[in-house]
């Protein structure tokens, strides 16, 4: 049921220092955003896939992610092909030249389609990237990692608690939808997109109110146990960068630099489809 | 006539956890059934198979003579009403009136008929004066009533309530149980899950005891509470008044029990006269 939960294991990725993982996650997110070339994205995709495999993460999840993203990707392709001007249009512009806001737009450009596919691919690689950190790092490791990188403990606690809340919120969402099914409400299963959007409050209102009640109760429970009373605190879990942590870190940074460099060199590939 | 017929039914969760094992239960129209047992005994899973939210792994669950998998969810929701343990998970509208109208509206009820149904439902659980209130701002007892009303408005014959008195104070518990009893008198088939044994003894005609996914006892409440030895297996104690009456009767060599304080008081008075 839960899409993002810690997946126990003892792979290299699991053993890696959480700080290294966090920095690399941010770095590679930027790389994925910065790359416009299909080949480099392909290499990134293969790399992340390799990480998934080596960490023993369930590859069946990827299918689910793709299923969730399909709508979004189709939307991106449509929007891009409609509004991104290119040289080859499959359909003549719907809006005339003098049209306000969107003069001469509303075509189906080949370039837009390619751009849409690229954005979709990029999105998928990004979504794949997250679990390599979240599913291989315990919440404790994340918290201590963040604190050691200089974040205030309260912020680290906030971040990790929200991650902990995800599975229980998912459970709650299921329960709410069950309750509504029992009242003859079948929009979430068989409704059309517009109906689903209209039905959204029925799910979100109880979920948000429940989360707020819970957060309030949690705040009281934390205060009752003197949360934040100590000026500086110690941790049971201590982190120490080992030689292999450093090695992985530098290797991955180097690789990221290479990929960015490669993307720069492959600029010709980009300009190729840019001409479409 | 039996309205729910469960035949040799087992349920195994996708995770492989076996929750129910060869259950055979037959519930007649108009019965008032309490399902009791420890946490994790399978009570909620059993309720969910009756509502059609879960499809049995083996065997079948028949509602009004038809297998639960032959119904669509929308269809089944007009036969079986299910009130969740936590009312807050099913309330989301801006007013109590809208909340109660939500279910029938999904079934295509509109206009005056809808208004009438909503008004009647609110009246029968005593929340008519709260019609324009914002549900989350109500007291816990009232929220529970709105939840019950919202399910009742589906006009089902069967009403399943999962711990309807959880978190209620003494008075609130009895108020809710009185509403439920009144519904039972009007012809509803009632199935409740609860941990409050005194309420079971006082209200339910029939008790089903679940233990580790199996039916331990299924009988009228008097026979069930006459078997403290068996109940102990699943860590259930009969209400204190039942225990007291048992001790008192034992003096005269009887194995009889009384289920409620009133019954015991009457019996003692009779004896004294």
Q: Is residue B15 part of a domain?
A: yes
What would the pLDDT profile of B18-37 be if each residue is shown by its tens digit? 999 999 999 999 999 999 99
Closest chain A residue by Cα to residue B13: A1
Alpha-carbon gap, residue A24 to A227, rounded angstroms: 31
Burial class (CB in 10 A: 0-12, 13-18, 19+), B92: buried
Mean pLDDT of B180-196: 93
Higher pLDDT, A55 or A267: A55
* Chain A nearest C-alpha distance from B154 (Å): 7
Does position B78 have pLDDT exceeding 90, yes or no?
Answer: no
Structure tokens at A192: 């059309």
How far out from the chain centre does Cα B194 lie?
Answer: 7
Percent of chain B clearing pLDDT 70 (strictly above): 100
**Ranges A64-73, A207-216, B84-93: which has the least confidence:** B84-93
Residues on chain A touching B102 (C-beta within 8 angstroms): 183, 185, 202
Residues on chain A touching B89 (C-beta within 8 angstroms): 172, 175-176, 179, 206, 210
Residue A189, pLDDT score:
67
Q: How confident is the model at residue A200 (pLDDT cuts 50, 70, 90)?
A: confident
Of A172, A185, A189, the CB nearest to B89: A172
Higher pLDDT, A90 or A220: A220
Q: Is residue B34 part of a domain?
A: yes
Does position B161 have pLDDT exceeding 50, yes or no?
Answer: yes
Of B84, B88, B103, the CB nearest to A184: B103
Structure tokens at A29: 């997110």
Residues on chain A touching B106 (C-beta within 8 angstroms): 183-186
- Interface contact flag, B103 A183, Cβ < 8 Å: yes
pTM exceeding 0.90:
no
- The number of residues in chain A equals 276
User: In this predicted complex, what is the ipTM?
Assistant: 0.73
Mean pLDDT of B82-97: 86
Does position A92 have pLDDT exceeding 80, yes or no?
Answer: no
Averaged pLDDT score across all residues of chain B:
90
The DSSP line for B115-172 is HHHHHHHHHHTT-GGGTTS-GGGS-HHHHHHHHHHHHHTT--SEEEEESTTTT--HHH
Structure tokens at A248: 């992985």
* Chain A nearest C-alpha distance from B107 (Å): 6
Which stretch, A200-204, B89-93, B144-148, has highest mean pLDDT? Answer: B144-148
Residue A1, pLDDT score:
36
Residue A188, pLDDT score:
66
**Ranges A105-114, A182-191, A259-268, B128-137: which has the least confidence:** A182-191
Q: Does A176 touch chain B (CB under 8 A)?
A: yes
Q: What is the domain-level CATH number for residue B158?
A: 3.40.50.300
What would the pLDDT profile of A143-195 be if each residue is shown by its tens digit? 889 988 888 888 888 888 888 888 888 888 888 888 888 888 777 666 677 77
Residue A275, pLDDT score:
72
Q: How many domains does chain B have?
A: 1
Cβ contacts from A onto B, under 8 A:
66
Residue B214, pLDDT score:
93
Averaged pLDDT score across all residues of chain A:
84
What would the pLDDT profile of B202-220 be if each residue is shown by its tens digit? 999 999 999 999 999 999 9
Helix, strand and coil percent figures for chain B, each rounded to 5: 45, 25, 35
Query: Which residue range(s) make up the domain with B12?
Result: 2-221
Q: Is residue B256 part of a domain?
A: no
Residue B201, pLDDT score:
92
Does position A3 have pLDDT exceeding 60, yes or no?
Answer: no
Mean pLDDT of B106-128: 91
Residue A7, pLDDT score:
83
Element at A216 (helix H, strand E): helix A193-224
Does position A113 have pLDDT exceeding 80, yes or no?
Answer: yes
Instruction: Please state whether B215 falls in left (phi above 0), alpha (psi between -120 and 50) or beta.
Output: beta
Closest chain B residue by Cα to residue A182: B77
Mean pLDDT of A28-38: 89
Q: Is residue B237 part of a domain?
A: no
Of B74, B106, B136, the CB nearest to A209: B136
Does position A266 have pLDDT exceeding 80, yes or no?
Answer: no
Residues on chain A touching B72 (C-beta within 8 angstroms): 186
Angstrom distances, CA of residue B40 to CA of A49, A242, B54, B132: 39, 45, 16, 39
DSSP for residue B109 = -
Structure tokens at B235: 């860590």
Mean pLDDT of B92-121: 91
Burial class (CB in 10 A: 0-12, 13-18, 19+), B10: middle
Does position B196 have pLDDT exceeding 60, yes or no?
Answer: yes
Q: Is residue B248 part of a domain?
A: no
Percent of chain B clearing pLDDT 90 (strictly above): 59
Q: Is residue B25 part of a domain?
A: yes
Alpha carbon distance, N-terminus to C-terminus of chain A: 43
- Interface contact flag, A206 B51, Cβ < 8 Å: no
Residue A61, pLDDT score:
84
* Chain A nearest C-alpha distance from B13 (Å): 12
* Chain B nearest C-alpha distance from A227 (Å): 28
Q: Is residue B12 part of a domain?
A: yes
Q: Is residue B171 part of a domain?
A: yes
* Chain B nearest C-alpha distance from A215 (Å): 15
Mean pLDDT of A231-236: 79
Helix, strand and coil percent figures for chain A, each rounded to 5: 70, 0, 30
């Amino acid at each position: 049921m839960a899409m993002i939960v810690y997946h126990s294991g003892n792979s290299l990725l699991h053993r890696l220092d959480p700080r290294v993982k966090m920095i690399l996650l941010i770095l590679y997110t930027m790389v994925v955003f910065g790359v416009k070339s299909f080949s480099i994205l392909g290499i990134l995709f293969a790399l992340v896939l390799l990480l998934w495999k080596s960490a023993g993460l369930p590859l069946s999840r990827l299918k689910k992610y793709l299923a969730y993203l399909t709508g979004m990707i189709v939307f991106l392709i449509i929007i891009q092909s409609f509004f991104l001007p290119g040289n080859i249009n499959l359909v003549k512009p719907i809006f005339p030249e003098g049209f306000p806001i969107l003069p001469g737009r509303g075509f189906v450009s080949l370039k837009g389609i390619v751009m849409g596919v690229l954005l979709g691919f990029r999105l998928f690689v990004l979504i794949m990237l997250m679990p390599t950190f979240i599913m291989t790092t315990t919440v404790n490791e994340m918290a201590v990692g963040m604190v050691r990188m200089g974040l205030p403990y309260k912020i680290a606690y906030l971040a990790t608690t929200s991650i902990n809340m995800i599975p229980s919120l998912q459970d709650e969402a299921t329960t709410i939808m069950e309750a509504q099914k029992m009242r003859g409400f079948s929009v979430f299963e068989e409704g059309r997109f517009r109906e689903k959007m209209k039905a959204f409050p029925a799910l979100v209102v109880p979920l948000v109110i429940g989360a707020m009640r819970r957060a309030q109760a949690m705040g009281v429970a934390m205060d009752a146990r003197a949360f934040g009373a100590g000026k500086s605190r110690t941790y049971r879990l201590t982190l120490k960068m080992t030689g292999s942590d450093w090695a992985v870190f530098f290797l991955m940074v180097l690789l990221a630099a290479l990929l960015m460099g490669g993307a720069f060199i492959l600029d010709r590939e980009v300009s190729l489809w840019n001409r479409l | 006539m039996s309205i729910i017929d469960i035949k040799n039914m087992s349920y195994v969760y996708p995770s492989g956890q076996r929750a129910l094992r060869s259950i055979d239960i037959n519930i007649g129209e108009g019965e008032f059934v309490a399902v009791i047992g420890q946490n994790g005994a399978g009570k909620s899973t059993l309720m969910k198979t009756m509502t059609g939210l879960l499809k049995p792994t083996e065997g079948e669950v028949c509602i009004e003579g038809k297998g639960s998998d032959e119904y669509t969810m929308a269809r089944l929701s007009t036969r079986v009403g299910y009130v969740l343990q936590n009312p807050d998970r099913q309330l989301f509208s801006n007013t109590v009136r809208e909340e109660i109208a939500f279910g029938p509206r999904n079934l295509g009820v509109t206009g005056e008929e809808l208004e009438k149904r909503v008004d009647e439902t609110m009246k029968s659980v005593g929340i008519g004066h709260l019609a324009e209130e914002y549900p989350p701002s109500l007291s816990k007892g009232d929220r529970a009533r709105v939840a019950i009303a919202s399910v009742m408005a589906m006009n089902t014959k069967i009403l399943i309530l999962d711990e309807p008195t959880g978190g209620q104070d003494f008075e609130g518990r009895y108020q809710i149980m009185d509403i439920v009893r009144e519904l039972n008198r009007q012809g509803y088939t009632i199935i409740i899950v609860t941990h409050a044994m005194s309420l079971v003894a006082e209200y339910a005609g029939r008790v089903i005891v679940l233990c580790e996914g199996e039916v331990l006892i299924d009988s009228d409440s008097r026979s069930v509470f006459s078997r403290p030895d068996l109940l102990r297996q699943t860590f259930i104690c009969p209400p204190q008044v039942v225990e007291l009456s048992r001790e008192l009767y034992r003096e005269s060599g009887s194995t009889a029990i009384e289920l409620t304080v009133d019954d015991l008081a009457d019996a003692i008075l009779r004896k004294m006269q």
